[in-house]
Amino acid sequence: MGRLDNKVAIVTGGAGGMGASHVRRFVQEGAKVVIADLAEDPGNALASELGGQAAYMKLDVSDAASWENLVKETEEKFGPINILVNNAGISIPGNTQETPFEEYQKTIKINQDGVFLGMQYVYPSMKKANGGSIINISSSAGINSSPNTSAYTASKFAVRGMTKAAALDFAPDNIRVNSVHPGLIQTPMAEDEETKKVMDALKENVPLKRLATPEEVTNLVLFLASDEASYCNASEFIIDGGMLAQL
């Protein structure tokens, strides 16, 4: 018996990295999972790997019409939605003095607007399902910042705040909303040349002296998605190896 038996889940940015880890584990635990991503080839490949319990659907998280279509297709294929993991995100390094406004807007559009739209469009489906769990992937940068992350920090602080507001709004319908705040995670996004420089420097500040694996974050996300977390709501869950405790 799986921890997510008979649940329907959407994972944004689910075609790779941390998102793919969440998708695989959710399927193992009995959920039917929509891999929502713009990356068609890896999304379809992952769905083929996992069989009938997973399906790839194209999603631009920053576009309302794309979300509307995704929810409709998910319900047609699997039924009302029980779980949403707002995982999709980007990181474009840059300080406040020099970050082009276009890059700032792009980061906000994906990291912040995408989360808002996801919660808004999934809500009616979760209400039909008599409840659900939304997990918004923020960051340790949503608790405290570091140099050269101006737009990213702004977006992740916003996710933290929106999570609390939505949790209060959705609670009467038995829909829980929580945020997860990973520290340094070994994902493809961390291999970008500029991002890797920041990550390597920050790694020395982690008491455990290493980056987390995506699977370690997945363990926490799985708990929040499951009925085991039935009284967890409007909360921040930090998974950073103890880094923030030193600041």
> How many CA atoms lie less than 13 Å away from 54 in the CB half-sphere?
24
Q: What is the pLDDT of residue 190?
A: 67
Neighbours of 126 (CB within 10 A): 25
Q: What is the pLDDT of residue 189?
A: 62
pLDDT at 199 over 90: no
b/e string for 15-39 if b means 16 or more Cβ within 10 A?
bbbbbbbbbbbbbebebbbbbbbeb
The H-or-E segment that residue 223 falls in is: helix 214-225
Is 152 a catalytic site residue? yes
- Delimit the domains of the chain by residue range: 8-238
Catalytic residue of the set 104, 121, 123, 152: 152
pLDDT tens for 167-195 read: 999 999 999 999 999 999 987 766 777 67
CATH class of 8-238: alpha beta
pLDDT tens for 104-163 read: 999 999 999 999 999 999 999 999 999 999 999 999 999 999 889 999 999 999 999 999
pLDDT at 77 over 80: yes
